[in-house]
Amino acid sequence: MAIRGISRDLLAMLFELGREHHPDEFVAVLRERDGVIRDIDLVPGTIVGEESASFFIDMLPLDTHQAGSAHSHPNGVLSPSSADLRFFPSVGRYHVIVGYPYTERDWRC
């Protein structure tokens, strides 16, 4: 699957999730349709905290439209941590990090 973009509505939702969960992290699975990341899945059993958010991979839905993950960094650092880099390959190819203060400039993919 080749991803051509991410919808503005989804980015707005990710910023809102960051604000709602702050100071804890959130994590979600990104879904694509027609090459555009448009939706997320919130995985049952997700564990959140101030320094991490995680879920069990076997709780992921079986889906060919899974594109990657999205999560927040309440400290505002938009670079992936070493834990992020270990997690990313298990969920897909594209990964979005949104950071405090959760504005249109506070994200990386």
Active site residue ranges: 25
Residues 107, 109: Cα–Cα separation, whole Å: 7
Task: Please list, in sequence order, all residues whose beta carbon lies within 8 angstroms of the beta carbon of residue 16, skipping any fewer than 6 positions away.
Answer: 102
Residues 77, 30: Cα–Cα separation, whole Å: 20
Q: Which helix (H) or strand (E) holds 28?
A: strand 27-33
Tokens 């503005």 appear where? 8
Other Cβ atoms less than 10 A from the Cβ of 43: the count is 18
